[in-house]
Structures are given as structure tokens and as C-alpha cells.
Amino acid sequence: MDWIAITSAIFLGAMMVFIFPRMREAVKNSPKGNMQDWMGYIIPLVAVIGFIILLINMV
Amino acid sequence: MNDHNISISRSQESILATNKVLKNTYLLLSMTLIFSGILAAVGMSMNLGHGAALVASIAAIALMWFVLPRTANSSTGIPVLFAITGLFGLGLGPVLNHYMAINPSIVSTALGGTGVIFLGLSGYALTTRKDFSFMGGFLMVGMLVVIGASLLNIFLQIPVLSLVSSAAVIMLMSGFILYETSSMIHNGETNYIMAAASLFLSILNMFQALLHILGAFSNND
């Protein structure tokens, strides 16, 4: 394993440590979404996935 | 009647403040994207190695974590944001050189694709004015899982896991774009420097993930 892989691993580990308390706070304080709210995310996401499939076929 | 007038005046003030944040954010975002693109071209022409790119990216993240939050409320925040986006751009150099060598259309398709997805999602959040604040916890948990999977894959070296991580990054960054845009509309985010930094990071991550996916499925690979 070269130094780039080791540095990347340390960096990603540090990111996890840094993000963890923010994640816990976000989970605790975020309002709960209902089915309609989630559909507001899922519908554009399906469009994004379809668009990426189109891009894959283009390259 | 007086209360009604005060309420209308406050609502107008709030709309004006929101529009100002949106305008400043998109202006700063477009300038930082151009700057980052220039630095990416510099990184490519210098034939920067992966080690130097990693150092540039770590420096950018360190500035984003430790310096930007302290300077975002003053004019110093703008040069700090340009330094961050410039370093990220420089860090992109070797990745772009790699994909240009495989098939140059991968880079242009990923760039155009990221632009279309960003504009589409921003337009969707701006026109529907939906509140995506409920996604905060989900997005942060998703980010942690993806970072954990990427860390694991440094040791395991499983190509499928790497592709799945990239697909998850695109889904999460789509969510972050909706979340951040809705946060600006609903006055959650009032600092345009922080908003521009967050959107920049979403665009950059989405571009890199899209490059990876298109590179993997490219006919020339």
C-alpha cells in the first residue's frame, strides 16, 4: 500500500470523525417527512437516474 | 389594520432578503466554478501527480472545516472560498488527465450532465418551493455510509463497491442540492458564502462521481 492510499484512508477516517457529531445532531433535529415530502425527492431522483442512463449510452 | 401592514412589510422584507441570498449565492457560485475550472486546466497542463492532487484536496477540506466557518460572516470569506475552490480545481487535474486519456467525451459529457442536473434540481426546488429540511438527517447518514464504504474500499479494492459508492454520491448530492436550495428559500441559510460553498461541493462531488460512472461504462474502457 503506497503513501497516497494510507493518506486517503487517514483523511476519510478524519472526515467520518468530523461528520459524526453533525450527523447525530441532524438526525435529532431534522423534522420528519411524510410520504408526500419523500415523493418530492424521489420523483426528481428518478429523472436524474434516467438522465444518467441516457448519458451512459452517449459515451 | 396596523398589524396587517406590519405583517405584509415583514413578509416583503423576507422575500427581498431571500432573493438577495439567492442572487449572491448563484453569482458567487458561478465565479468560483469558473475559477476552479481555470485551476483544473492549470493542474492538467502541469501534469500534477495524484499525491499533489490529494494534498490540494486535503488543504481545501481543512480550509472549509476550520477557516471558512470563522470568516464566512466577513468579506474575508470570499477569498477563502476562492482559495478552497481553486485548490479543489487543482486537485481535479490528474483525474481529468486520466479520463481525457481514456476518452475525452467522458469529461465533456460529465461536465454537461452535472450542469443539466444542477440546473434542473435547482429549478425544481425554486419553482415548487418545497421544504426539504426533513432530509437533513438522511443526507448526513448517507454521507457517513458512503465515506465509510470508500474507506473500506481502499483496503478491499472492489470495483463494484466503488461504482455503487459513486451512484450513491450522485443520489446524495442531488438531495443536497434540493436541501440547500430549499434552505435558502425558507430562510434557513442566510449566508451566501456558506450556501455557495455547500453547492460548490455538491456539484464537484457529483461531477467526480459521474466521471467515474461514465468512465466505467465507456466503450473505450
- ipTM for the predicted complex: 0.92
For the stretch B90-133, pLDDT in tens is 999 999 999 999 999 999 999 999 999 999 999 999 999 999 99
- Chain centroid to CA B42: 20
B136 touches chain A (CB under 8 A): yes
Q: Provide the greatest CA pair distance for chain B.
A: 70
The reported pTM is: 0.92
| Cβ–Cβ contact B144 with A under 8 A | yes
Check if A53 contacts B (Cβ < 8 Å).
Answer: no
Residues of chain A found within 8 Å of residue B103, distances taken between Cβ atoms: 59
- The answer to whether B166 touches B209, Cβ cutoff 8 Å, is yes
Percentage of chain B modeled with pLDDT above 70 = 94
Interface contact flag, A48 B174, Cβ < 8 Å: yes
Q: State the smallest CA–CA distance between residue B212 and chain A in angstroms.
A: 11
Tally of helices (H runs) and strands (E runs) in chain B: 8, 0
d(CA A23, nearest CA chain B) in Å: 5
Task: Using an 8 Å CB-CB cutoff, list chain B residues near A17.
Answer: none
Distance separating the N- and C-terminal Cα atoms of chain B: 70
How many domains are there within chain A?
1
A-chain CB neighbours of B198 within 8 Å are none
Q: Return contacts of B14-22, CB within 8 angstroms, 24+ apart.
A: B14/B187, B17/B187, B17/B190, B18/B184, B18/B185, B18/B187, B21/B184, B21/B189, B21/B190, B21/B191, B21/B192, B21/B195, B22/B126, B22/B184, B22/B185
- Residue B86 burial (10 A CB sphere; 0-12, 13-18, 19+): buried
Instruction: Tell me: pLDDT of B1 over 60.
Output: no
pLDDT tens-digit readout, A35-46: 999 999 999 999
| Residue-level pLDDT at A1 | 63
Low pLDDT (below 50) residues in chain A: none
How does pLDDT run across B148-189, given as a tens digit for each residue?
Answer: 999 999 999 999 999 999 999 999 999 999 999 999 998 778
